[in-house]
Structure 1
Amino acid sequence: MLRIHFTSHDLQNIRIARQPDPLWELICGVCRLETGQGPLDFGPWRRAAKDRLSKDPVAVRGLSPLRALIPAAGYIPDFLTPPVTGGGLPAGLDQVRRTPRARLVHELTRLAESRPLPNWTTSLGRPGSDALTSLAAALGISFRALVEPHWPHIRTAVGNDVDLRSRALLDGGTRALLDGLRPLARWKAPVLEVDYPTERDLYLEGRGLLLVPSFFCWRRPTALADPGLDPVLVYPVEKAPLAFARGTDDGVERLLGRTRTAVLTEVAGRKARTTSEVAEAVGIALPSVSYQIGVLRDGGLVASHRDGRYVLHTATPLGLRLLSTGSFSGAR
């Protein structure tokens, strides 16, 4: 558990990043690429990414140094995710290139305690060496190969979360904002208890906290390891599973059609949806949504149940598997 300790000044200085941060998304994305985590959320993206890597030797070379520095679990050097400024990828890469040598040595020494590092890491930041510039270039190449093709989906998911958090803050203040982080975190004033893989205490001491919504962050929030850096809490946003499905050649649209695929994707979210909510999200008329849901329900892909005045819809395991695999070939 990560316990974030607030002062009264910190409570007045909570901010939300309004856009996805390219380097946080890339670093979290590399973690998702290296594991089978989140097969529903990330399976199609992972398959598309690996397919691209099989055809793009430049992207493979760019990803190689990142794989050396980014373990699937455990400590990741903080210099790879510099302060979130909203300046986009160029600003982030410039900050990486300007990382002081002493900080690089400190963070890489810590990383080396858990995994062997290649020899080239010893030259990072050394006067006359271009290793840090090359690493920044590798970050840029990897971002363009793995993340940039899906940036509109990422931006939409993060934007939806920012809207949700902003409304909570406007309607109920800081307390409502922090309470809204459940189940990822629990607000027990003056401490925010965050689901975290290790036991840590972070004292904000008047610096405030930047909340960074992230598409590729998975299951639990993450934070910078160095408590002396500007505090951030990166947390996963809610998203329709397989938001990338329509951007891949997995065949779901060819099987179901575009409208029906959109409806199934929407009801496959983490919360049950009413017919009106699906219609609004997909952008089609209510009678058409009712018809499409009926067809999906008859096919065993959607389940519906009444809750008071409303009928709620969710995807069945078969529907989820269809979205995950792109066809019925994985169904048993």
Structure 2
Amino acid sequence: MLRVHFTGLDLARVRIAARPDALWETILSFHRLRDRQGALVFDEWRSETRTRLNSEARLLGPLVPSRGYFPDFLTPPEGAQGLEAALEALRATPEDRLRVDMSRLPASRSLPSWARTLAEGDSAPLGRLTGALRNYYRAAVGPYWPHIQARIEADRAARGRALLDGGADRLLASLPPMMRWRPPVLEADYPVDRDLHLDGRGLLLLPSFFCRRTPVALHDAQLTPLLVYPVEHSPAAAPTALARPFGATAPRSLGKLVGNTRSAVLQAVGGGCTTSELSRRVGVSLASASQHASVLRDAGLVVTLRNGTAVLHTLTPLGAALLRGGAGVRTLSEAASGTGR
């Protein structure tokens, strides 16, 4: 079990990553490629990805075992800025950091010669490593990035809503069930027993598409505290199910009533999203997303909040009731007028 210890200052400094991290998704997808977890979600992705790989898996395997520790330097914070920024930071890893991180790999693990030179602090093989990571990303992650981004944005919207409704306490309590908020400690299922003391540094929460079953934290407690956790998955959320990643669970009658695309838009709004996020989630143009949101807003199903040039769309009670097929609402007219019980 992992126990993350918070102070009052840490609670004030909890934050949610603004976007997916390219290298975290790359490394964690490499785990999913080799295990059998999440068959309904990942099996088709595994099949497609393997047809595009060459020698990347053989090169990455020694540094990224199927389970357990992999070097912290493989996931620099620049991953939030995109793949190339992350790889540039990785190439600049100091030699002493290479030695320390590589020394934490199991002593029984046999390393190829290029990896042994990394463990000795020689940065020369980093060019070969970054090339393998770039090629692997292009095969396994890049083709699905818009969908991955949409799923993570949906999770981020839900966490942000919890934060707005109840502060950091509600946010931490809203995390997936493998994490349990017992103030002032966040407990999480974890492969080893560990305590992480934040000591006023706060915590960055990073939702991840390819993370599964348990969250992941950096090994080095001196680095900026980070907790990677899995977003919710269903078969409709598979990375290859790009045609209609949202809207698959909406009532069929809703599609007949408002049209399949507008039904998908209504569900994609979910816990809240911007117009650009809505566009990515549904797979329509920005102009089309804006037009659909406008129609739903005029019908009283969506409300739009504006902050400068940015907008946030959220469901009204009527919109949520329609998405549920009317469950829990006596009539739509009562829901609109607020008289339903």
TM-score class, shorter: 0.7 to 0.9
Which residue does the alignment assign to 2:70?
76
Q: What are the superposed Cα offsets for residues 182-209 of structure 1, whole Å, 9 maximum, x if unpaired?
A: 4121111111011211110000011110
Q: Percent identity of the aligned residues?
A: 46
Aligned counterpart for 1:245 among listed residues 234, 240, 246 = 240
Q: Is it true that 1:173 corresponds to 2:173 in the alignment?
A: no
Question: Per the alignment, do residues 276 and 189 of structure 1 end up closer, same or farther by CA in structure 2, a change over 3 Å counting?
Answer: farther
- Offset of residue 63 of structure 1: 3.2
Structure 1 residues 39 and 93, CA gap change in structure 2 (3 angstroms): same
- Structure 1 residue runs of 4 or more that deviate by more than 6 Å after TM superposition: 125-128, 276-281, 304-307
**1:137-286 superposed matches below 5 A:** 137-241=131-235, 242-246=237-241, 266-267=248-249, 283-284=261-262
CA RMSD of aligned residues (A): 3.0
TM-score by length of 1: 0.73
Assess if the C-alpha contact under 8 Å between 1:221 and 1:234 holds in 2.
Answer: yes
Please tell me whether residue 94 in structure 1 is matched to residue 88 in structure 2. Answer: yes
Matched pairs, number: 270
Task: Give the 3-state SS of the residue equivalent to 2:76 in structure 1.
Answer: coil
Structure 2 residue matching 1:245: 3-state secondary structure: coil
Distance 1:245 1:176, change over 3 A: same
Alpha-carbon deviation of 1:275? 5.8
TM-score in terms of structure 2 length:
0.71
1:193 aligned counterpart, secondary structure: strand
Q: Given residue 261 of structure 2, which amino acid in structure 1 is its aligned partner?
A: G
On the 8 A contact 1:5/1:202 being kept in 2, the answer is yes
Question: 1: CA distance between counterparts of 2:180 and 2:121?
Answer: 46
Q: Any unmatched runs of 5+ in structure 2? A: 265-323, 331-341
Deviation of the 1:86 alpha carbon: 2.8
1:105-125, Cα deviation, whole Å (9 max, x unpaired): 122122132522112112228
Secondary structure at 1:219 match in 2: coil
Partner of 2:51: 51
Conservation of the 8 A alpha-carbon contact between 2:78 and 2:85? no
Contact 1:100 1:125 (C-alpha < 8 Å) held by counterparts: no
Partner AA of 2:80 in structure 1: G
Greater Cα offset, 129-138 or 66-75: 129-138
- Tell me the secondary structure at the aligned position of residue 228 of structure 2: strand
Alignment of 1:300-311 (within 5 A): none
Residue identity matched to 1:166: G
The equivalent of 1:318 in structure 2 is: none
Q: Contact 1:262–1:282 (CA<8 Å) still a contact in 2?
A: no
Cα distance in 2, alignment partners of residues 276 and 204 from structure 1: 49
Q: Which runs of 5+ in 1 are unaligned?
A: 54-59, 248-257, 268-272, 287-303, 311-332
